[in-house]
Structures are given as C-alpha cells and as structure tokens.
Chains A and B, each alone.
Chain A
C-alpha cells in the first residue's frame, strides 16, 4: 500500500502565543514548533498499515524551512521519505491555496490512501484535506476514529465520530481520511529511527515544479482574508459570596447575574 501523509507544523500547545502589535498575526520568534498533534495520528496510522501491508509511506508538508524538523520527526517515526513544498509564492496561502499546492504534488504520486489530522491546532480551519479530496476527485472520510483496510487493499471501513454517535463508512480506495484523537497511540521516534531519518530523502518542490500559477496560491490566490488577530479577552476572576445569610447571598447573586453577567 502506498500512503501519503499530509502534515503541517504548528506551535506547541504549551507555547505562549502573543498577537503582533499591528494585529497582523502572531509573534513567531521564540515559539516552539511541533508536528500538528492530529497529524501524528495520520503518521502512526500510515506506519501501522505499512507494517501490515508493506509498501511506501511519504510525508508531504508545505511551509518554511523550519517545517523540515517536523518532517524529520515523521521520518524518525518510520515514514520512508518526504516532500517539502516551499516557495515565497506559497506564503500567505489560505486553506484553498494550501490544498491546491498539496493536490498538485499528490497528482504526480502513487497513493492508495491520503491521511492527515482532522484539523490543525493553530488555524483550526479543518478544510485542507477536504479540499484536497475534491481537487483530486476522490472520496473522503473525516474525523476517523477507527480504520480497517480490506485484505486486498482496495477498500476500507472507517468509523467516524459525529455529534452524539458514530458513523461507519465503507469507501473504495484511493481515498482521503482525516484522523481524530483515539484512532491510535502515536509511537515515539526511536533512537535508531532518529539516526536513520538523517539519510532519508526529502524532495524540495518549488512553485515551478508544482505546475501551478502564482495567482492560484499564496496571498495572490487566497479566497479568504484574515482581517485581524485579536488576543483572547482576559479571564476575569470569579466572585465569591461569603459570610452572609443564604437569602442575602441569593439576592446578591441575582443582582450580579442581572447587572454584571447580564444573563437574566
């Protein structure tokens, strides 16, 4: 089975995020970047399927030079090789531009399955894999919590989490699947894996190699525009009603709820 994992780098969940003073984005200096946690489930699933069926696994990532570190982590976990999409023209891409770039690269590859996380923890758009499936004209199953590929590798049954329940979907391969927490337990990169990763190939793809026009990607090709970044409103400390009789407290509470929280 040939499996491609679409992976991106995102700020560590523990990182302190500061909005730039001009509201144009977040301060990137000093942030620790890691593999998007949901994409880790995609990498792990690809490795499990490779262990079962054999074949080749590839990780595809778009982003500046720093994303190569996350790609090396995927390679250290066991992915066979990587494709790094990087070009000034891709900067400022929205979900659609990103999907176009990924799809352009995928068009030239052999794949039975395309995996990735259900969303990235920074943008939280949850659109890229869906768009990739549309651009490649192949089926998609999202928010997958369980995956069983048929013995002949030509179809799969996936469980997906929906509001208040679970859907079981049968799909012919090739297909795109976005992975949800609980699908698997991502392995640690082992020491031998880290040493082997050094020698694994990461192919660089620029705009010219992708076959796309500059106006289809980056800021130029964006169909959405983020007009401002705002910091989260500071969480106010709670109020405590103490040392008064219960009916006094109740009256005070109602007053607060009405006049301050404005919920009644």
Chain B
C-alpha cells in the first residue's frame, strides 16, 4: 500500500505551504482582530488557480482530484482557518452546479469564474433549520413558468461577498425532504439581499451573513436538477466537501501542535524545559497521533471519492474525528502555553477559537454520528 503523495501532489503541497506561510499566516491575527474580509489573500488564491481548481477542466477549472484538494486545504487552513474556509466554502457553493447542473448551466455559471476572481456561497441553513435540513421553510412557488422564492437563509459563509449563490428551498411543503428544490443564481438577482453579518467566536475574517429572498423571481434555467431533487443534491454536495473540512481541521491542529512543540523547547520552569515534563510530553504525543489518524481518515475518504465509491460514512468518520481532534489539540496547546496561551498576543488562542466551528459547520459532529450509526445499523 503506497501512502505517499505523488511528485505532483508534493509540488501542490509545497506551493500551498509557501503561500500559507508567506502570505496568509503573517496577516491572520490582523484579519481576526478586524473581522475584515481578506480580499488580498482571496485574490492571490484566485491568481494561483486555487479558487477554481476543483471545477472540471472542460469548464475552465483544473479538475484536481479530492486528494489533491485535501492536500492543499490542509496547508491553507494551517495559514488561517478563516481564510481557508472562505476559499473552500466558495468551492462548496459550486459543487451543486458540477453535480446537478446541465451543460448550459455549467457553461454559464462555471466558465466565467476562470476569467475573474469570483466567490460563491452555499445557502442551505435557516434560523429554524440547521441540522434539520428537511425542516427548511424558504418557500418556492411556481409562477409564470418560473419560480418565486421567499424566505431567509442564515449563517451563510461568503453570503456578503459572493457573486453566485446556490440555494435550496421548499417547493412542496407536504413532501419533507423530497419537496426541496435547488437553484443557482447571481447574487444581484432582484429580490435577493444580504442581511446581518454574524460576529463569531472564531474564523472571524470569514464572512458569515443572512441571505434574504423577497419575491425573488427565477426562471426554469436557474433550477438545478429536477424539482424535489434538492435534498439529494445538498447531501451529495456535503459528502463531497466534507473531506476539505476534515483537512482544514488537520491544518489547524497541526499548526497548534507545531507551536506547542516549539514552546516546550523554549519555556523553562523549575529549572528545566517544560518539554521534559511527562504531562506536557503526553499532551504533545496525543496531539501528534490524533493528527496523523485524522489525516489518514481524510486521505482515505478523499481517495474513495476519487475512485467513485460511495463514501458518506467515511467522510463522516473523517470530518467528525478531525474536528474533535482539532478542538482537543488546540485546547491542549493553550494549556501548554499557560497564561500566555490565554493572551491574544500569542497565536494559540485563535486556533482554539477557530477549531470550535469545525465541530459545528458542514453538519455538526452529532449529525455525523447519526449518519455513521444509521449506515451501520441499517438492514
């Protein structure tokens, strides 16, 4: 079994690592403090082809594999989770188009992204429908051969900065999950507006907003797939993007571990380096083995998706385990730094704040466990 990256993947990793180290990490604290959207970083990521890498080649992207994507995503999240999320949430917003769009829709919506730096947003969550996706209430009514959308989406990553939205609404209230339909539309569509901006605990430079639909009129050609197929499309999208969230968790955790190792080799108490105390050593050992396991689970589910295998349960293993690992690693990192770890002048408290979201978004870790158990317990 060959666990090594190909030469090309090593090059992708080197490039992403260099970019994260030289461009992202030095600015991370500043953007975290100001909550300003890191446009310069996003634009550079676009210039390097990172934003459109996952789009199929025939539509202007590079068609990189899921394994390639997780390799890159780990490095970007190492630089800054907020910046990394802004990038991969944009890719999340495009996946419904690649999965369910017609050739015309792919041409119309994906190809322009190669010409200009453009972000997308995936609009699924509502105030009354988080984990309970099927409980959404954004209404989709048929009108004049098209559709009218009314409702509010919330906690939408890139909501206020995206030029393209993919959105999911209830076209048939009686049918639950089977009554959901997916749409793609430009953000400046009449009737669509950005609502309040969320001020978050962590990943603060990531733009999270409400997206409001007030009698927004769409035509047939905005609909992705068939009526009632929306839930399936949303779930397939999340399955495909879950490895990236797992990879981001690994990146954040690795950063925290590296800081901890460095500090343990510098800080002295009781006349010796704290790295010589077993309490600290055990924390670092647990960090390292957790990160390694999380990374392997991430690579495995990415590989399975590349092989065209059904990977829902494995994607859930990876996302759930990696996010929990990131939370425990970053918490221990703050602990190793002690009082300094609690200070905003040191880099680890940000990592802990950033890691918490990993356990919540893209399907909470509780939902992941439901997915896993259901799959194992089914007939």
Which residues of A are interface residues toward B (Cβ below 8 A)? 69, 72-73, 76, 188-195, 197-198
Q: Among the listed stretches B7-15, B29-37, B315-323, which one makes contact with chain A, having 4 or more residues with CB under 8 Å of it?
A: B7-15
Give which listed residue, B14, B18, B49, contacts A191 with CB less than 8 A.
B49
Contact of A197 among B10, B11, B48, B50 (CB under 8 A): B11
A72–B6 Cα distance when bound, in Å, is 13
Q: Are A194 and B47 in contact (CB under 8 A)?
A: no
Among residues of B, the one whose C-beta sits closest to the C-beta of A32 is B14
User: Is B47 in contact with A190, judged by CB distance below 8 angstroms?
Assistant: yes
Q: Mark B64-104, 1 if CB is under 8 A from A, else 0.
A: 10000000000000000000000000000000000000000
Closest to A76 in B: B11
B53 contacts partner chain A, Cβ-Cβ < 8 Å: yes
> Which residues of A are found within 8 Å of B49, using beta-carbon distances?
190-193
The 8 closest A-B pairs by CB, nearest first: A191-B49, A190-B48, A194-B11, A192-B49, A190-B49, A189-B15, A191-B53, A191-B62
Q: Is the CB of B8 within 8 A of A194?
A: yes
With A69-B7, A72-B7, A195-B62 already in contact, the answer to whether A188 and B12 are too (CB < 8 A) is no
Contact A195 B47 (CB under 8 A): no
- Chain A: which residue is nearest B8 at the CB level? A198
For this complex, 27 residue pairs linking A to B, each with C-beta atoms less than 8 Å apart, are A69-B7, A69-B10, A69-B11, A72-B7, A72-B11, A73-B11, A73-B14, A76-B11, A76-B15, A188-B15, A188-B19, A189-B15, A190-B47, A190-B49, A191-B12, A191-B15, A191-B48, A191-B49, A191-B62, A191-B64, A192-B49, A193-B49, A194-B12, A195-B8, A195-B62, A197-B11, A198-B8
Residues of chain B in range 288-345 having any CB-CB distance to chain A below 8 Å: none
Closest CB in chain B relative to A79 CB, distance in Å: 14
Min CB distance, A96 to chain B, in Å? 32
Distance of A207 from chain B, by nearest CB (Å): 26
Question: With a CB–CB cut-off of 8 A, which chain B residues contact A69?
Answer: 7, 10-11
The closest CB in chain B to the CB of A195 belongs to B62
Cα–Cα, bound, A60→B85 (Å): 40
- From DSSP, what is the main secondary structure of chain A's interface residues? helix
A75: nearest chain-B partner, CB-CB: B11
- In whole angstroms, how far apart are the Cα atoms of A72 and B50 in the complex? 19
A189 touches B11 (CB 8 A): yes
> Would you give the shortest CB distance from A47 to chain B, in whole angstroms?
14
Nearest chain A CB to B53 CB, angstrom units: 5
- By beta carbon, the residue of chain B nearest A198 is B8
CA distance in complex: A198, B12 (Å): 12
**B343-375 CB contact bits vs A (8 Å, 1 = yes)?**
000000000000000000000000000000000
Residue from B7, B11, B62 having most chain A Cβ neighbours under 10 A: B11
Q: Is the CB of A192 within 8 A of B11?
A: no
Chain B neighbourhood of A195, CB < 8 A:
8, 62, 64
B8, A191: Cβ atoms closer than 8 Å:
no
A193 to B12, CA, bound (A): 10
Task: List chain A residues, Cβ under 8 A from B64.
Answer: 191, 195
Query: Could you give, for residues 38-70 of chain B, a 1 whenever the CB lies within 8 Å of some chain A CB and a 0 otherwise?
Result: 000000000111100100000000101000000
For A72, give the chain B residue with the smallest CB separation.
Answer: B11
CB distance from B285 to the nearest CB of A (A): 21
Shortest B108–chain A CB gap in Å is 22
Task: Give the residues in chain B near A193, CB-CB below 8 Å.
Answer: 49
Q: A226 CA to B48 CA in the complex, in Å?
A: 43
